Amino acid sequence: MNLAKLEPIAMQKENVESLSNTASLSSALLERKNQAPGRPDYIKVSNFSFNYVPAVRVLHNITMDIPEKQVTAFIGPSGCGKTTLLRNFNRMNDLIDGVSQEGKIYVNDQDIYDRDLEVISLRKRIGMVFQKSNPFPKSIYENVVYSLRVSGQKNKEVLDEVAEKSLRSAALWDETKDRLQDSALGLSGGQMQRLCIARAIANRPEILLMDEPCSALDPIATAKIEELISELKQSFTVVIVTHNMQQATRVSDRAAYFYLGKLIEMDDTTQLFSNPSQKETEDYISGRFG
Amino acid sequence: MNMKTGPEDTALDDPKRFTASRQVLAVDWFMTVFIRLGGVGVIVTVVGIFFFILSQVVPLFQGANVDEVSRGEAPSLPQGNYIGLATDEWSELPLVVREDGRVYFIDLRGQRGVVEKAPEWLQGGKVSAIEIDHGAQVIAMGTDGGKIHLIRFEYEPEFVDEVRTVKESLSEEYQGMVEAGKPVKLIAMGQSERVRVIGTVSGEGGSQSLEVKILKRKRSLMGVGKWKEVEQGDLSGELPAADKIQKILVSNRGDALIVVADSGRVSYFFRGDEGFKIRQHFAPFEDMPGRKIITTGFLLGDVSLVFVADDGSNRVFSLFRSEADPVRKFYHTKTLKSLGAAADYYASSSRNKAFLLGAGKHASLRFSTSEEIRWSEDLPWKVQLGAISGKYDALLFLDDAGRLHKYQLDDPHPEAGLKAFFGKVWYEGAPEPKYEWQSTGGSDDFEPKFSLVPLIFGSVKGTCYAMLFAVPIALFGALYTSEFLHPRHKIFIKPVMEIMASLPSVVLGFMAALWLAPLIEDKVPSLLLVMIFVPAGAFALGWLWGSRPMYIRKWIPQGLEFLYFMPVLIALGWLGWILGPHLEQVIFTVTDPQTGKSVGDFSQWWPKVTGTSFQQRNSMVVGFMMGFTVIPIVFTIAEDALSNVPAALRSGSLAMGASRWQTAWRIVLPTASAGIFSALMVGLGRAVGETMIVVMATGNTPIMEWNIFSGMRTLSANIAVELPEAPHHSTLYRTLFLGAFVLFLLTFLVNTIAELLRQHLRERYKTV
Ligand SMILES: Nc1ncnc2c1ncn2[C@@H]1O[C@H](COP(=O)(O)OP(=O)(O)OP(=O)(O)O)[C@@H](O)[C@H]1O
Ligand SMILES: [Mg+2]
């Protein structure tokens, strides 16, 4: 998989553009490919706290900057709030009744909890791969092109093209090219996960949130996904949650370590893994945790 | 494997921990058996009900069962030529008439043998024409001496120690002469309460004369008087003299005289105020050149004529007013299977439309309405005369050796059959075959009509209108509740729906009939407007609101929009209600015949424009009220199905940038389709089986039209309405069971198809 393979999608620029509700942002999306790394505080979290139920705080005063066009890894023990934070970036936690939050999150200087913000266009800019794969009970093809369909794309050629590119990127094309119209639920667990990745990148979002995308994958598929992530960061901002330290070191530029809902440390990945400034971080990455 | 780490662990290292305890196994075994028994019990019960209903229904489709009653040697009659056979109600003491006018009563119970009654009135003459009228209990005889005798036979049951014996008696009621004293060739008689009409044909060949005599009797305080001849006339002039008359018949009301000529031509005289006048000539076997009519007879009710041609062809003609001709005439209505040979005798039943035909040894019991042969057999002897008993429970045959044979007839449901229930049937008096249900009628010769088709149609119609009203409301309601409504408000919906579901349908039916039907009778235009305004308003508001930018939309919290829009919708509904009468004045106008002015009146406009009726208790009322019972069921099940769609799918879709509506429409609805389908089917089942509302809120008229402003009669309502009237094991009773059976099959069929579709949907949209 190399960049040349992604070119055709880039050439579909007008199409992709027309799909997005926020034309100003998406038009920039593909042009930035070979530019210098973007701003360091593309996603800005400031003093953010989060409760699922009143009085039980899950995230405590998180403040962090996630740089544009880089891969940021969230690591930390189970239950420490990685998923919770990730889901706040595209306001998926709105769906849960009774949640409350304090502090602010900005995406490209836009306060995402601003009441004037149209949450649908925010979500269109942010792709998400969930921790548990959740393919729709539709065909493989329809799963992949879902985001284009809801944006009103009807051109069959565009859809076909996007479906193929996305599946190729997610290392699923070879296995599914002959059964695109079969139900997605007939796929294996790992295939489903890759399908969800293909689905998330289909309309080329600006930010890709990946919650343990490789937890159900074998080493070969994992390698492909990691390769994909490295490619994606050329144009997208990627946030990945992982329990796999090697993976974090392989793919990410920056890493953040969470513990019990607190951000313990955030640094360049090499720095964090080779020379953590906090004792907890060191214990965790060296496997002495718990 | 020594796991012991120390003596203190021995309590935990209980060796029994690897064995299933006996109690666990016992409970497990018991539950397995119990559940299995329960399951088998349910299946057995359902199958049992099925077979019970089936057992009630099967006799409807069975033919007649005919067996000779063996009483040893049949009492044989003295030698002679027997020309008439009649029987009493119990067929215990039938009588036969010999050519010399002697009447023999035959005691079939074997106590008195053959009783001869030698009449003093017939002095040496020979009976040359005879007709026996079972209804009037009169034997009409014409002699070769030109005399006419009407002899009444009576049976008097006597009960001695609860044992019935029948006493017979004969008496002469009238004596007359034909015009010129010529030998009487044919005689026919018909009588109503006051009038008795005798038709005779006398004389030979070219000089045959057709005469009618009209007798009347007076009723006084002393009782009925004697029959007196009041009129007589000669109708010979009305017919071509050369055409030999072969048979005459007079209808029981005395208003019709049928003359069958050798040429195959039948003439129908009608008696009006000016006596008998020719009304119709027709040839029953016109299309079969060379066929002669051999046998002609009336069926019960005397509005249908049975004809048998010399080759055995068998047709029935009935009297009705056709669309083209306002005068009642005979038209060909039925064709039965050919008898194979010319019929020797004909006898009709006085219970139903059955008749008995025979040629030589062959006897055939037929039912006109269904055109079916109920029973046929080659008897061991040649039959001279046959008769059907008054109760339609015995057949009598007099063989050519002068022996009388009694056959037990077991045919409880001759009018039933697949064709009667599901086909178009040409009933007497109707201008065309049709599907008709009418179980009881005023007169004795009323023929019940048992077509289930209008009832099935009614069930389908009622269900359709109810579903049409209920399904959109229930489904969209469920979709809104599960996908858009704020969870805080959801908790109010369920109890409201439960209250709605728990309303007894009697109460709803009562309300529909006494409150809703009169209320909306003159408010149809208003309702029409409300039904347009409210949904259209809802769509328009939704679209308007959805296309507002976020800085406006943020003022109403998501999921609470309905609270703000409700007043608008109510106002729109109110507006529609108010504007209705104005719309009526403009569009639904009819001209008042009295004043000539144009007035707005929907209930008159509708019949005028569509040609269908407008009834107060109509399908719309039923649709509303039945919809009211269906809504909570469909809503609850559909809402459950929608809510059970995994949240992960919903968030997956929303995370892709789909709107809530797109998520609901593209992901949630298809995923829940199996459950929604079940909801619809359960609702359908409820609507099909619903009884009380339909019974009360419609006129229960078994009509077949889709008109929303007329009523219907459903299978279930039919059972409820007719059951109190249905005598045990009667045809009606069994037909009601058949209705239940059809309902059973209908729901079974619908459920099976639904289940297959549901499985398919579930397979297609199963979630991980
Ligand atoms: N919907 C919810 N309602 C209430 N509490 C929740 C909900 N989801 C998560 N939590 C709680 O919030 C905390 C953080 O959960 P979260 O899913 O963010 O952990 P995580 O870091 O992603 O863990 P893992 O690595 O196991 O996925 C946990 O204690 C969890 O129990
Ligand atoms: Mg998680």
Q: Which of B549, B654, B656 is nearest residue A95 as measured by Cβ atoms?
A: B654
pLDDT at residue A14 in the model: 40
Which residue CA neighbors atom 6 of ligand 1 most closely? A52
Euclidean distance between CA atoms B15 and B2, whole angstroms: 13
Q: How far is B50 from chain A (nearest CA, A)?
A: 40
- Integer Cα distance of B313 and B297 in angstroms: 14
CB A43 within 8 A of CB A71: no
Question: Closest approach of chain A CAs to the CA of B647, in angstroms?
Answer: 9
Nearest Cα residue in chain A from B670: A137
Torsion of CA A37, A38, A40, A44, to 10 degrees: -150
Q: How far is CA B441 from CA B417, B449, B699, in A?
A: 20, 10, 17
Question: DSSP string spanning B484-519?
Answer: TS-HHHHHHHHHHHHHHHHS-HHHHHHHIIIIIHHH
Domain B453-521+611-764 in this protein, CATH class:
mainly alpha
Q: What is the per-residue pLDDT for A2?
A: 40
Reported confidence tier of residue B290, pLDDT bands at 50, 70, 90: confident
Q: Where are the beta strands (DSSP E) in chain A?
A: 43-53, 56-66, 71-75, 100-107, 110-111, 126-129, 207-211, 237-241, 254-259, 262-268
Q: How far apart are CA A206 and CA B281, in angstroms?
A: 96
State whether A123 and B656 contact (CB < 8 Å): yes
Question: How large a percentage of chain A has pLDDT more than 70?
Answer: 86
Residue A207 CB less than 6 A away from ligand 1: no
- Which residues have C-beta within 8 Å of that of residue B603, sequence separation ≥ 6? B521, B522, B524, B614
Token pair, residue B671, equals 């995923």
CA A191 to centroid of ligand 2, rounded, Å: 20
pLDDT digits over B350-392, tens only? 888 999 999 989 999 999 998 999 999 999 989 999 999 988 9
Nearest CA in chain B to A192: B768
For β-strands A71-75 and A237-241, DSSP reports them as: parallel
Alpha-carbon span B628 to B505, nearest angstrom: 10
- Report chain A residues whose CB lies below 8 A from the CB of B655: 90, 92, 123, 126-128, 130, 200
pLDDT at residue number A37: 59
Task: With beta carbons less than 8 A apart as the criterion, state whether B239 and B263 touch.
Answer: no
In which band, very low, low, confident or very high, does the pLDDT at A16 lie, cut at 50, 70 and 90? very low
Q: Which of A13-22, B175-184, B327-336 has the highest mean pLDDT?
A: B327-336
ipTM of predicted complex: 0.85
CA dist list (Å): B171 to B103, B119, B120, B187, B500: 12, 9, 10, 19, 73
Nearest to B296 by CA among B285, B307, B284, B310: B307
Q: What is the C-alpha to C-alpha distance for residues B555 and B536, in angstroms, rounded to an integer?
A: 24
Q: Which residues does chain B have within 8 Å of residue A184's beta carbon, measured at their own beta carbons?
A: none
Question: Does A135 reach chain B within 8 Å, measured CB to CB?
Answer: yes
Nearest to A123 among B649, B655, B766 (CB): B655
pLDDT for A88 equals 93
Q: Which of A133, A134, A204, A239 to mutate to test the interface with B (most CBs of B within 10 A)?
A: A134
**For testing contact with chain B, the best of A93, A146, A181 (most B CBs within 10 A):** A146
Distance CA B516, CA B696 (A): 12
Nearest CA to ligand 1 atom 9: A84
SS3 A46: strand
**CB contact, 8 Å: A52 with chain B?**
no
The single-letter DSSP state of residue B75 is P
Reply yes or no on whether the pLDDT at B122 is more than 80: no
Q: Delimit the domains of chain B by residue range.
A: 119-282, 453-521+611-764, 523-600
Residues near B122 by beta carbon (within 8 Å), at least 6 away in sequence? B100, B101, B141, B143, B149
Q: A133: which chain B residues are within 8 Å (Cβ-Cβ)? A: 768
**How far does the CA of residue A99 sit from the closest CA of chain B (Å)?**
13
Q: Is A132 in the pocket of ligand 1 (CB under 6 A)?
A: no
Residue A24 beta carbon below 6 angstroms from any ligand 1 atom: no
Q: How far is the CA of A79 from the centre of ligand 1 (A)?
A: 5
Could you write out the DSSP letters of every residue in B276-289? EEEEEEE-TTTTST
Would the CA dihedral through B467, B473, B474, B475 be positive or negative? positive
Residue A273 has pLDDT above 50, yes or no: yes
Between CA B413 and CA B390 the distance in angstroms is: 16
Rg (CA), chain B: 38
Alpha carbon nearest to ligand 1 atom 17, residue: A83
Q: Strand pairing partners for B216?
A: B195, B228
Question: In angstroms, what is the span from residue A143 Cα to ligand 1's centroid?
Answer: 27
CB contact under 8 A, B656 and A117: no
The answer to whether A259 and A80 have CB atoms below 8 angstroms apart is yes
Average pLDDT, chain A: 84
> At A24, is the pLDDT very low, low, confident or very high (cuts 50, 70, 90)?
very low
Q: Quick check: CB of A81 below 6 Å from ligand 1? A: yes
Chain B residues within 8 A of A128 when measuring between CB atoms: 655
Tell which residue, B173, B152, B132, B176, has the closest CA to residue B298.
B132
For chain B, how far is it from start to end, CA to CA, in angstroms?
A: 41
Instruction: For chain A, list the domains and their CATH numbers.
Output: 3-32+67-90+125-285 (3.40.50.300)
Find where tokens 């109810």 sit.
B466
Q: Is B129 helix (H, G, I), strand (E, B) or coil?
A: strand
Asked if the model's pLDDT at residue B684 lies above 60, the reply is yes
Q: Is A146 in the pocket of ligand 1 (CB under 6 A)?
A: no
CB-ligand 1 contact for A87 (6 Å cutoff): no
Using an 8 Å CB-CB cutoff, list chain B residues near A97.
Answer: 487
CB A150 within 8 A of CB A234: no
Tokens 């930035």 label which residue? Answer: A32
Least distant ligand from the CA of A87: 1
Q: Where are the alpha helices (DSSP H) in B587-618?
A: 602-610
Q: Phi and psi at residue B493, in whole multiples of 5°?
A: -70, -50
Chain A residues with CB-CB distance to B547 below 8 A: none
Best CATH choice for the domain B119-282 from the list 1.20.120.420, 3.40.50.1220, 2.130.10.10, 3.30.565.10:
2.130.10.10
CB of A79 sitting under 6 A from ligand 1:
yes
Give the residue whose CA is nearest to atom 18 of ligand 1: A81
Q: How many residues does chain A have?
A: 290
DSSP E strands: which ranges in B87-126? 95-98, 103-106, 114-117
Beta-carbon contacts of residue B432 (< 8 Å; ≥ 6 apart)? B426
Q: For residue A46, with 0-12 CB atoms within 10 Å meaning exposed, 13-18 middle and 19 or more buried, which class applies?
A: middle
Contact indicator for B115, B105 with CB cutoff of 8 Å: yes
A152 contact B CB<8A: no
- The pLDDT, as a whole number, for residue B10 is 63
**B612-657 residue pLDDT tens:** 888 888 888 998 899 889 999 999 999 999 999 999 999 999 999 9
Residues of B in contact with A21 (CB under 8 A): 657
Whether residue B591 is predicted with pLDDT greater than 50 in this model: the reply is yes
Nearest CA to ligand 1 atom 5: A52
- A230 burial (CB, 10 Å; 0-12 / 13-18 / 19+) is middle
Other beta carbons within 10 angstroms of residue B733's beta carbon come to 16
pLDDT digits (tens, 9 = 90+) for B277-288: 999 999 999 898
Residue of B654, B656, B765 lying closest to A137 (CB–CB): B765
pLDDT in tens, B128-170: 899 998 888 899 999 888 889 999 898 888 888 888 788 888 8
Q: In which band, very low, low, confident or very high, does the pLDDT at B9 lie, cut at 50, 70 and 90?
A: low
Q: How far apart are CA B420 and CA B369, in angstroms?
A: 8
